[in-house]
Amino acid sequence: MLSFYLYLATAALLLGVGSLGLWRGPELLRRILALNVIGAGIFMLMVSLAYRPVLYGEPADSVLHALVLTGLVVAVSATAFALALLGRLLARPQ
């Protein structure tokens, strides 16, 4: 039970850390990383929620795992697109 709340707290703090990075920047690349940290925080929240049944001796929530997997793919795709845009932005002759 304690570790469940520990991971929930970590998730919330990861959201905070990510938001700080997103606000502060200053580089765009760091902002993209920050968005990924926020995403990781949300996924951690979801995976901790999926862990709840385990505390009662049942298997973990597979629907949430599937949702997080979908979310991971979406996050990777978005990151890749953002980095491609960033690469072009930086490579452009000034």
Partner 1 sequence: MWPAVLLVTLPLAAALLMLLWPRRARVLHFAVAVGLLPLAVSFLLQVTVSGEQQWFLGNWGPLLAIRWQADGLTTLLLLVSVTLHLLVSAYVGSIQRRNPLPAAFWPLSNLLLASLQALWLSRDLFNLYVCLELLGMVAVALVTLSGDKALRPALDYLLYSLFASLCYLLGVALIYAGYGVLDIPMLAGQLEANWLNAVALTLMTLGLMLKAACWPLHLWLPAAHASAPAPVSALLSALVVKGPLFILYLLWTTLAPAAFLPAAAYLLASAALGAMLFGGIAAIRTPYSKSLVAYSTVAQLGYATLALAFILRFNLPEFVAAMWLFVLSHALAKAACFLAIGELQHTLGARQVEQLKGASQTMPLAMFAFAVAGGSLIGLPPSGGFLAKWALLLGLWQSQQFFWLLALVVATLLSAAYVFRVVVLAFDRAAPTAPDFSPQRLPQYLALLPALLVWVMAVFSLPLLTLLKQEL
Partner 2 sequence: MGLLLFDVVLCALLLTLAGAAMLSRQLVHAVTLFIAFGVMMALAWARLQAPDLALAEAAIGAGLTGALCFTALARYAGDAGYPKPKLWLPLVFVAAVSALLLYSVFQIPAQPTTELSERVAEHLAVSGVSHPVTAVLLNFRAWDTLLELLVLLLALLGARQVPSQLPLHAGWSLSVSWSRLLSPMLLLLSAYLLWRGAAAPGGAFQAGALLASGLVILRLNQQLAWLSWQNFAVRTLVLAGLIAFVMAGLASLLLPGQLVWLSWPVALAGGIILLVETFATLAIALTLALLVVGEPEQEPADA
Contact in structure between 8 and 45 (CB atoms under 8 Å) = yes
The footprint of partner 1 on residues 45-74 (CB under 8 A) is 45-46, 49, 64, 67, 70-71, 74
Dig out the tokens for 33 from the structure: 């990383």
CB of 74 to partner 2, least distance (A): 5
Measured between alpha carbons, how far is 79 from 23 in angstroms, rounded to an integer? 17
In the region spanning residues 19 to 78, those forming contacts with partner 2, defined by CB under 8 A, are: 19-21, 23-27, 29-30, 33-34, 36-37, 40, 43-45, 47-56, 58-63, 65-70, 72-74, 76-78
Report the run of H or E that residue 84 belongs to, with start and end: helix 62-91
Joined together, the tokens standing for residue 7 give 């991971």
For the record, the structure tokens of 1 come out as: 């039970």
Point out which residues bind partner 1 (CB under 8 A): 15, 22, 28, 31-32, 35, 38-39, 42, 45-46, 49, 64, 67, 70-71, 74, 77-78, 81-82, 85-86, 88-89, 92
